[in-house]
Amino acid sequence: MKLTVVGCSGSYPGPQAPCSCYLVEADGVRILLDLGSGALGALQHHTDLGAVDAVVLSHLHADHCLDLCGYFVYRNYHPEGRLPLLPVYGPQGTADRLARAYDIPGEPGLTEAFDFRTVTPGVFEVGPFRITAGHVNHPVESFAFRIEADGRTLTYSGDTADSDTLVDLARDSDLLLCEASFVDGRDTYPDVHLNGREAGEHADRAGTRRLVLTHIPPWTDGERNLADARKAYAGPAELARSGAVYEL
Ligand SMILES: [Zn+2]
Ligand SMILES: [Zn+2]
C-alpha cells in the first residue's frame, strides 16, 4: 500500500500545501481520502485525474470536500467525453452538500459524474481496500477510517477531538495519519480538534508503528506540535508534507 500526501494544510490552504487530500494505492487501484480546497491542482503531480477509482470523504467541511466541484467539471465535461461514474463515499447528505456548493439544482446535482454512497459506521470494500469507518468527535458527522490492503494498515483520523473510536480504529496500524490542528494550551475549544500532545497520546494508546501529523493550519508552528506529540509517543513521528510518499 502506498500513501501520497497531496494536501495536508488544516482548515485553509497554505503556501506550500493545499487542504486535506491523500492518494492511497494498492494493486493498481487508486482512492482519494478527502479532496479539500486546492487539492485538485496538486493531485495532478501524482496521478492522471482520470485514473482515480473512488473518493472517500471523512466529512463535509470545505477543507475536505470542496474540490469535488472542480473535479465534477473534469469528469463531466472532459473534451474527450464524460468519464465513467466515480464512486464517492461520504456522510449522509454528501450529494446535496456538493450540489449546493456547485450551485446546481439537487436533481441531478453532480450525479452524472459521481455515484454517491453513504458511509455508516462499519466496513465497506473498495477494490483491494477493506475500509472500517467509525464516528469521531467533530461538530459535524465525521469519520475516521482504518484502511487495510496487502496485509498493511493505514488509519486516517479525519478531523476529530479526543476519540476512543480513533484509538480502536488505529490499533496496531502501520501508520496513523492523525490530525493535530490545535496547539496545546492555546486552542481550547472542546470537541473540535486534537493538539500535538493528544495526537501522540492517541498513537501511543493505539500502539501504532508510525505517526504522521497532519491538518496543521498555516498559522501554527508544526514543529511545536510535533515536539508535543513526541513527548507522548515513543515511535517514529513526523509532519506530513505535500508530496511525501509512504510505502507501507
Ligand atoms: Zn478540516
Ligand atoms: Zn472539519
Note the pLDDT tens digit of each residue in 61-116.
999 999 999 999 999 999 999 999 999 999 999 999 999 999 999 999 999 999 99
Name every residue whose Cβ is closer than 8 Å to that of residue 165 and which is 6 or more positions away in sequence.
134, 135, 136, 137, 144
Residue 57 grid cell: 470523504
CB–CB of 71/6 below 8 Å? no
Percent of the chain with pLDDT over 90: 100
Percent of the chain with pLDDT over 70: 100
| Structure confidence at residue 211 (pLDDT) | 98
Helices (H), the chain: 39-43, 62-65, 68-76, 94-102, 164-169, 196-206, 222-232
Ligand 2 centre to CA of 189 (Å) is 13
Ligand lying nearest the CA atom of residue 60:
2
Please give the model's pTM, rounded to 2 decimal places: 0.98
Q: Please state the separation of Cα 87 from the chain's center in Å.
A: 16
Ligand 1 centre to CA of 81 (Å) is 33
Bridge partners for 143 per DSSP: 135
Ligand 1 centre to CA of 58 (Å) is 9
Note the pLDDT tens digit of each residue in 109-121.
999 999 999 999 9
pLDDT tier, 217 (very low <50, low <70, confident <90, very high otherwise): very high
To which residue does cell 478527502 refer? 34
Bridge partners for 32 per DSSP: 23, 55
User: Between the CA of residue 153 and those of 10, 22, 125, what are the distances in Å?
Assistant: 24, 15, 14
**Identity of the amino acid at 9:** S
Ligand lying nearest the CA atom of residue 10:
1
Ligand 2 centre to CA of 82 (Å) is 31
Average pLDDT, the chain: 98
**Identity of the amino acid at 159:** D
pLDDT tier, 133 (very low <50, low <70, confident <90, very high otherwise): very high
